[in-house]
Structure 1
C-alpha cells in the first residue's frame, strides 16, 4: 500500500472508518514531529491513496472523502478486520449468552488476528496502537479460553494458549489461563513448569515476582487442587 507515511494515513482512517479525522490528527499520527509543509504532504498522500483505490476493483464500495477540516473513509465496517474484531468481542460480552455462544464469537474474532498490527510502521502513534491492540488480543484470548473451559472443551484451549504465551511471554493473564487449561486437561505438572518458566523470565527481565493470584494458582497446581471448570475471563481480573 505504498510508503510508510501513506500506510499510516490509511491505517488511521481505517481505524476511524465512517468518522471524520481532522488533518491535525492525521498529521500527529504520521509524524512524531511534523515537518514544515506537513499539511501539503498530507494532501499529496491522500491523493495517492485515492488514485490507488480507484485502480483496485475491490475498492469500488470505498470512498475517501473530504469532511469539515479533515477526511473520512467510507467503507462497510466489516471490511476492516479491526472493526469486525470489536463487533464480535462486544457481541460476546452481551447479556444472556451461554459460555459456548460467547466462545464461538470470540473464536471468530481471534481468527481475524494475522500477525502484528501495523507491522513495520514507525512512530509513536503506531507503537501505542500496536500495544492497545495487543492487549485487546490478549483479553479476547483469555476470555475465549475461560468460556471454552467452562464448556469442558479443554483440548481446544491448550495449543492456542501455549502459542500465545510464546508470543507474549510476560503477559500474566495468558500464563494463568494456560495453567488452568493444563490442569483441566490433567497436566498439572506442565502447569507448574509453565509457572516456573514465567517466574524465571519475569525475574530476569523485569526484576519482579508474579502476582499473588498466580502464585496461589501455582501452589494449588502443586497440590492438584485447581478447579478446571473455572471460567477465567479478563473481567475476573
Structure 2
C-alpha cells in the first residue's frame, strides 16, 4: 500500500487505482475495508518515523482517494526524473549535462518495487528501467566525446550484460569502441547482438544500428550524437508508474 501511494507522492490517488495496484484486476471481497486498514497502519507509522529526516509520512484524505504528502526530493525516482529533465535543457555545456546525469544515475541502488509481484509493479519496473537506460546511454554519448572512450566502453559492456537485447546500449557501445580505435570489437558486438535478437526475439537490428554497422565497415566515423530518448510513455502518464520513493528501492 505504501508503494501504491508513493508512486504518486504529493498527488491524490483514487481508491479504485489503489485497489488495482495492491490486489490486481480481480481484488478480493472486502478489498476496500482492507485498504482502509492499510491506510490506518501507514498513518500510525508516519506518526512514529520520518523519511530520512525530511518529514513524516502523512496520508491525506482527498476527494475519491488518498494522497501521500511527501517532499518530492524524498522520492528517489522523482528526483531522478527531475535531474534528467534538467540535463535535457538546451544550451547547457556538456560537462554540466554529464554531471546532472551522473547525479541522477547515482540514485539507483536497486530495482523499483523490489519484491512486489503483479502487473502494476512490473509496469513500474519496466518504465523506469527504460528511463535509467536512456540516461546511461545519454551520459555515455557525452563522455565519449569529452573523455576516455575505452573507459566508457567498459561501463557500457556492464550495462549491456544487464540488458543484452537493448539496441540503444549496443549502439552506444559500438560507438565507444570505434572511437577508442577498436572497430573490430565494435563489429563483433554487432554480430553478437544480431544473434541474440534473432534467437530470443526473432528480430533483426533496427535501422540506427544497421547504419552504424555500415559506417564502421566503411571506416567512416559515426555521425554526431547517437542518443535518442526511448519511445516509451512518460512513467507519470503510463498507468501512473513514476516517482517511487527512496524507501522502495532495494539495497
With normalisation by structure 2, the TM-score equals 0.84
Distance in structure 1 (CA, Å) of the matches to 2:116 and 2:44: 22
**Match for 2:140 among 119, 142, 145?**
145
CA 174–84 in structure 1, closer or farther in 2 if over 3 Å, else same: same
* The 10-residue stretch of structure 1 (203-212 or 50-59) with the greater mean CA deviation from structure 2: 50-59
Gaps of 5+ in 2: 232-251
Match status 1:22 vs 2:10: no
* Contact 1:150/1:230 (8 A) holds in 2: no
In 2: Cα distance, 1:208 partner to 1:59 partner: 46
Work out which structure has the larger RCO, using CA pairs closer than 8 Å and 6 or more positions apart in sequence.
2
- Aligned positions of 1:160-179 closer than 5 A: 160-179=155-174
1:233 aligns with 2:230: no
For residue 219 of structure 1, report the CA deviation from its aligned partner: 2.7
CA drift at 1:156: 4.2
CA contact (8 A) 1:165 1:171 kept: yes
Q: What stretches of structure 1 of length at least 5 have no aligned partner?
A: 1-8
- Are 1:76 and 2:71 an aligned pair? yes
Indicate whether 1:50 and 2:81 are aligned: no
2:107 is aligned to: 112
Measure how far apart 1:105 and its partner are: 0.6
Counterpart of 2:198? 203
TM-score, normalising length: structure 1 = 0.89
User: RMSD of the alignment, in Å?
Assistant: 2.0
**Residues 14-73 of structure 1, C-alpha deviation per residue, up to 9 Å, x if partnerless?**
121111111111011112211111110111111222223333354661222222231111
